[in-house]
Amino acid sequence: MAARGGWKVAMGLAAVVLLAAGMTGCQEEQLKAQVVDLQVRLRDSEAQNTALREELGDAQAKSAHYQSQVAAAQAEADSARRQLAAVSAGGAPAGGTAGDAVTAAPVAPVAEQTFTVPDPFTAGKATLKPAAVSELSRIATAIKRDYAGRMVRVEGHTDGDPIRKSGWKDNWELSCERAATVVRQLVTLGIPAENVHVAGYGEHRPVADNKTAAGKSKNRRIEIVVMSR
């Protein structure tokens, strides 16, 4: 009887050992599977992080490029203001009119294409109307497609009404500021800043009669002149 009882105990212990070994093997397999899964997730995360860093670097490079172009456009506008101040203080130079004197860059002899944006600004301000923003986008696309690398002169024109309440010194100053606003918009749309120049003619180059409302509306315009090579 004692021998039989010992045999049963031995068999029971063996079963427990085998069960424990089986559980340990199962846990090891689960652990290995978890490790593999974590490794895959880690690789995916690292790849995603790398891609995001590259995108961030590209975005920063583009931002710096546009900032430099906008800065160049601002410098062009500042130059126009200085010339305007000089003309206002000393009058027009010999051989030209006061309106002609407010050009911020040398005028090329021949224009290849002129785009006109009629009455593009809020009255008395240098803020573009939404319709003008859309029109400038269309014009910028055409210039980049058909006249890439050409010099572009942005001309500001006003009607004949004198400045009263808006705070501008005169229509020359207003026309220069409006032209500079258009230059900044064109640069934002991808036109190289070094290819764009500002000119402000005030009320001195009308295309219609300033005595009528319709004529004044036609005279309030921006002309974007693409120069020949």
pLDDT at position 14, please? 54
DSSP class per residue in 175-225: HHHHHHHHHHHHHHTT--GGGEEEEE-TTSS-SS-TTSHHHHHHHSEEEEE
pLDDT at 81 over 80: no
The reply to whether 208 falls in a domain is yes
pLDDT at position 21, please? 54
pLDDT, one tens digit per residue, over 183-213 is 999 999 999 999 999 999 999 999 999 999 9
The reply to whether 17 falls in a domain is no
The reply to whether 100 falls in a domain is yes
Coil, helix or strand at residue 151: coil
pLDDT at 8 over 80: no
Q: How confident is the model at residue 95 (pLDDT cuts 50, 70, 90)?
A: very low
**What is the rounded distance in angstroms from the CA atom of residue 200 to the CA atom of residue 6?**
113
| Average pLDDT rounded to a whole number, residues 14-33 | 60
The reply to whether 19 falls in a domain is no
Q: What proportion of the chain, given as a percentage, has pLDDT over 90? A: 48
Nearest to 120 by CA among 77, 175, 71, 166: 175
Domain that holds residue 163: 68-227
The reply to whether 2 falls in a domain is no
**What is the rounded distance in angstroms from the CA atom of residue 193 to the CA atom of residue 7?**
97
pLDDT at position 193, please? 95
The reply to whether 188 falls in a domain is yes
Strands (E), the chain: 111-118, 152-157, 196-200, 221-227
The reply to whether 167 falls in a domain is yes
228/67: higher pLDDT: 228
pTM recorded for the entire structure: 0.55
The reply to whether 194 falls in a domain is yes
pLDDT at position 1, please? 52
Give CA 42 to chain center in angstroms.
36
pLDDT at 102 over 90: no
Coil, helix or strand at residue 115: strand
60-69, 150-159, 164-173, 214-223: least confidently modelled range: 60-69
| Average pLDDT rounded to a whole number, residues 74-99 | 54
The CA-atom distances, in angstroms, between 178 and each of 129, 141, 158, 166, 213 are 12, 21, 9, 13, 20
The CA-atom distances, in angstroms, between 101 and each of 82, 147, 173, 178, 227 are 12, 27, 12, 17, 19
- Averaged pLDDT of the chain: 78
Q: Report the CATH number at residue 105.
A: 3.30.1330.60
Domains of the chain: total: 1
| Average pLDDT rounded to a whole number, residues 62-86 | 63
Q: How confident is the model at residue 148 (pLDDT cuts 50, 70, 90)?
A: very high
pLDDT, one tens digit per residue, over 155-173 is 999 999 999 888 899 999 9
Q: Do residues 94 and 178 touch, judged by C-beta distance below 8 A?
A: no
The CA-atom distances, in angstroms, between 192 and each of 70, 121, 162, 169, 197 are 10, 23, 34, 30, 11
